[in-house]
């Protein structure tokens, strides 16, 4: 999925998942996007995609701190679990590639576990 397809998927997911109150495009060029899907003022999902470098960052952020994330760097994936958000999980599950909707499904599970809106 390239930057344009990622943005289209985010727009669709923001309409489908009613808890997102705002979609904000922070940066956009043909090969790069950076978008935030706000749940509240201090709780959001940030998505970054750079086609030129095969880089994807999918993160759930609260009060400026990463709660959960999945990253792709140079074609390789890793995960930051909500239990150890500063550590790289390179287990088979951590290395699994995910789509935007799969990541948002994971975010919903993390929010439920942490008892967040």
Reported as a pLDDT band with limits 50, 70 and 90, residue 75 is: confident
Q: Is the pLDDT of residue 44 over 90?
A: yes
Residue pair 56/48 in contact (Cβ under 8 Å)? The answer is yes
pLDDT (tens digit per residue) in 89-108 = 999 999 999 999 999 999 99
> Cα(first)–Cα(last) distance of the chain, in Å?
29
Q: How far apart are CA 80 and CA 28, in angstroms?
A: 25
Residue ranges of the domains in the chain? 3-113
Residue pair 10/47 in contact (Cβ under 8 Å)? The answer is yes
Mean pLDDT to the nearest integer, 103-117: 96
């Amino acid at each position: 999925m390239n930057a344009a397809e990622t943005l289209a998927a985010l727009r669709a997911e923001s309409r489908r998942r009613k808890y997102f109150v705002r979609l904000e495009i922070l940066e956009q060029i043909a090969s790069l996007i950076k978008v935030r899907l706000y749940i509240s003022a201090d709780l959001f999902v940030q998505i970054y995609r750079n086609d030129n470098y095969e880089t994807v960052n999918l993160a759930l952020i609260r009060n400026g701190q990463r709660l959960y994330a999945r990253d792709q760097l140079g074609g390789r994936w890793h995960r930051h679990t909500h239990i150890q958000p500063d550590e790289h999980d390179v287990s088979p599950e951590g290395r699994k590639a995910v789509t935007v909707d799969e990541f948002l499904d994971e975010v919903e599970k993390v929010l439920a576990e942490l008892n967040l809106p």
